[in-house]
Chain A
Amino acid sequence: MKHVRQFAKYQLVYFKNSVLTYYFVVSLVALMFNRPGSGNTLSGSMVFILVLGLNWFKTSFRFSQANNLSRKTFYFATILAILAMSVFMSVVDVLLDSVFKNVQVGFFGQLYPPNNFAEILWSIAVLATFASLGWMINMMYYRANGPMKIAISFSPVLVIWLMVRLNDRIGGKLANSFMAFAIRAFGLAGEVPNPYAAIISFAVLTLVILVINGLLMHRTPIKA
């Protein structure tokens, strides 16, 4: 457990400069244009943490191996670091939005009634999902051989194409079902939208991704 905490700390310190640079740029843009650049800070942070997730694995994993840490320790340390980073960025995003008095309503504001506590929890869940997704994509490429890498690259296009074809064949039922599911999952089904349903949905999605990452971590070798 001690090594889990220490390695999570290492990962957070390793990404410290990138995060600081990101918020410096966001703040600079906000000061120059008197509002955060992308309308709300969270949307930028979602992209940023996805990129961070994509860069999370390889260098960190190699350093964990240099220090003879088990894969199990690396896995739990990475989860801890992702959660800590998501909490930190969510709080900073909400603070920046309030400091710069963001005139444009963000994702949360467009979907749910105002609630700062729920907004922070929602941001944490969203950012954790994006970071875990980045980590998963990176690990899939790391584990795959040459042809498999190509298959992974084309698989999203193929899946979307198949779903569109299937949807056309069954008279749009697939898209309708998907929309109905998404509305429920985001807590938008009732008269008053419920952000906590979305928080749980994102948390479950993060958990599923993390389980996949755990399976991908199993017996992962060191690669150049």
Chain B
Amino acid sequence: MYEIKIDNLIKRYGQTIALDNVSLTLERGKIYGLLGRNGAGKTTLLNLMTNKIVPTSGEITIAGQSVEENDAVLNRIYHMSEETLYPPSLRVREVFRWTREFYPKFDPDYAEQLAQRFELNTRKRVKELSTGYTSICKAILTLASNAEILLFDEPVLGLDANHRDMLYKEILANYIDNPKTVIVSTHLIDEVADVLEEVIIIKQGQIILKRPLEELLVSAYTVSGEISQVEKYIAGKKCVGGDILGNFKSVIVFDDERNQSLAKSLNLELGKVELQKLFIGLTNA
């Protein structure tokens, strides 16, 4: 069993702090959603996990071994990076072939099968692919790598709704067939919610939340109704977000216990919270 351990990780670019003292432990065999707004530090964190950039201070270890310049550990990870790092002049099938050289468990048949299903022409050169098909190509390489840890950075960039749905299903099917640690970094939260087991929310370089998705959704709910009544209900409670429309207000409350009787007496409605709304509330707070 291995785990990914991130200890007091700091990454600075000049005066800008991209990651601010991040500490995390990621268990084996889970699908994590790394959620954050643009510039929150998601890509920086994934790049640090794969030694693409080096931290200002702190350390990342996998099964107790540092990832820094460690080929044995790095080979256990496949990173679908946001940036396309494959030589533009290589054909997709050549990229498949070379990836197999570096990832011995890479499954070329599965890659071909996925390429057919996603209608990716493997005879095309990388530079000839559209944004969507570049994402598909990178996602196929990641899935077929059979690495123990798969990192997807914005995997659905440029994909149409059908392909997005297909990709999420494939990530899930791949995980069920062969459990592994998967981290999906995205800001398209609602779509990915069905795939995730645990959610990590990053805001301005800091981890503000890490919880199992189910637990998170149970621990929060919405209260809506007339503004003054809502204010009475939420007094002393931890709340995030809030929409006001005329005399109507809706707020997300963080509390395991729902006070149904109080809500009824104040003529308020308690409802389930969506991950996206919760995310917006948390990252805007």
Contact = CB atoms under 8 A, between A and B. Distances in A.
Nearest to B53: A221
A16 B87 CA distance: 15
A3 B71 contact: yes
A68 B53 contact: no
A6 B75 CA distance: 14
B60 to A, nearest CB: 13
B102 A219 contact: no
A6 B98 CA distance: 9
Contact of A221 (B50, B52, B69): B52
A222 B153 CA distance: 15
Given A63-B86, A67-B103, A69-B102, A222 B52 contact: yes
A68 B85 contact: no
A58 to B, nearest CB: 10
A70 B98 CA distance: 16
Nearest to A61: B85
B171 to A, nearest CB: 19
Interface string B77-121: 111010101111000000000110111000000000000000000
Interface residues of A, number: 22
Interface string A60-94: 00110111111111000000000000000000000
Given A14-B87, A59-B87, A222-B47, A66 B53 contact: no
B228 interface: no
- Grouping DSSP codes into helix (H, G, I), strand (E, B) and loop, the B interface class, with mixed when no group exceeds half, is loop
Interface in A134-167: none
B78 A68 contact: yes
A66 B69 contact: no
Contacts of B88: 59
A67 B71 contact: no
Nearest to B68: A70
Nearest to B77: A68
Contacts of B52: 65, 221-222
A70 B79 CA distance: 14
Given A68-B79, A71-B69, A222-B83, A6 B74 contact: no
A68 B74 contact: yes
B83 A67 contact: no
Contacts of A10: 98, 101
A62 B75 CA distance: 16
A104 B155 CA distance: 59
A170 interface: no
A69 B98 CA distance: 13
Contacts of B103: 67
A215 to B, nearest CB: 15
A11 to B, nearest CB: 11
B4 to A, nearest CB: 14
B51 A70 contact: yes
B25 interface: no
Contacts of B53: 221-222
A69 to B, nearest CB: 7
Contacts of A20: none
Contacts of A3: 71, 75, 102
Given A6-B102, A14-B87, A72-B71, 18 more contacts: A3-B71, A3-B102, A7-B102, A10-B98, A62-B86, A63-B85, A63-B86, A63-B87, A65-B52, A66-B86, A68-B75, A68-B78, A68-B79, A69-B71, A73-B71, A222-B52, A222-B53, A224-B83
Interface of B: 47, 50-54, 69-71, 74-75, 77-79, 81, 83, 85-88, 98-99, 101-103
Interface of A: 3, 6-7, 9-10, 14, 59, 62-63, 65-73, 219, 221-222, 224
22 contacts: A3-B102, A10-B98, A10-B101, A62-B85, A62-B87, A63-B98, A65-B81, A66-B81, A67-B98, A68-B50, A68-B74, A68-B77, A68-B78, A70-B69, A70-B71, A70-B74, A72-B71, A73-B71, A221-B52, A221-B54, A222-B52, A222-B53
